[in-house]
């Protein structure tokens, strides 16, 4: 993966919800659904990545899965030093594919850490979140250029 001169400006948990519908056990089998949205703020030369992750577990003896939690994080990166890799249009802006993958990878792994820390007292914290290749994370389509805050 290429190296970039990028810095995190802000990192926050936008939404966190944990459901504890099962009796506590030592291990769980489940799945996680992840969605990333990338947007560009041309005025501030930054790129925001919103990560949305939902965690589900399987009910014992069945293939039925139930939700146990949700987290949405926002990571804003200063792209000033890598601005040539951003194409700004009137209605939509695009980020170079390699740079986008790099930023989503950082955002996802940061989200894993935030979820682990925030969920340590919830059932969702008992689920080990997998390492996922950023290319395998679904992208939210139709993100428009952000005009306001970063």
CATH number at residue 56: 3.10.420.10
Helix ranges (H only) for 63-150 are 97-118
Q: Is residue 147 part of a domain?
A: no
- Looking at the structure of the chain, the number of domains it has is 1
Q: Is residue 17 part of a domain?
A: yes
pLDDT, tens digit, 9 for 90 and up, residues 24-35: 665 567 788 899
Q: Is residue 146 part of a domain?
A: no
DSSP characters over 133-146: -GGGSEE-S-PPPP
Tokens (6 digits) for 110: 């940061």
In 3D space, the residue among 117, 150, 138 whose CA is nearest the CA of residue 53 turns out to be 138
Helix (H, G, I), strand (E, B) or coil at 1: coil
> Burial of 99 by CB count in 10 Å (0-12 exposed, 13-18 middle, 19+ buried)?
buried
Q: Which domain holds residue 74?
A: 7-127
pLDDT, tens digit, 9 for 90 and up, residues 47-67: 999 999 998 887 766 777 888
Q: Is residue 119 part of a domain?
A: yes
Q: Is residue 144 part of a domain?
A: no
| Global confidence as pTM | 0.82
Q: Is residue 39 part of a domain?
A: yes
């Amino acid at each position: 993966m290429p190296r970039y001169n990028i810095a995190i400006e802000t990192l926050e948990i936008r939404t966190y919800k944990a459901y504890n519908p099962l009796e506590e056990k030592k291990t769980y089998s489940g799945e996680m659904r992840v969605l990333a949205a990338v947007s560009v703020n041309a005025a501030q030369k930054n790129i925001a990545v919103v990560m949305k992750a939902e965690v589900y577990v399987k009910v014992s003896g069945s293939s039925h899965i139930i939700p146990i939690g949700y987290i949405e994080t926002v990571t804003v990166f200063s792209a000033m030093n890598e601005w040539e890799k951003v194409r700004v249009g009137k209605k939509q802006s695009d980020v170079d594919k390699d740079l986008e993958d790099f930023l989503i990878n950082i955002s996802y792994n940061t989200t894993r850490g935030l979820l682990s820390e925030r969920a340590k007292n919830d059932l969702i914290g008992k689920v080990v979140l997998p390492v996922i290749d950023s290319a395998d994370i679904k992208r939210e389509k139709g993100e428009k250029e952000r005009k306001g805050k970063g």
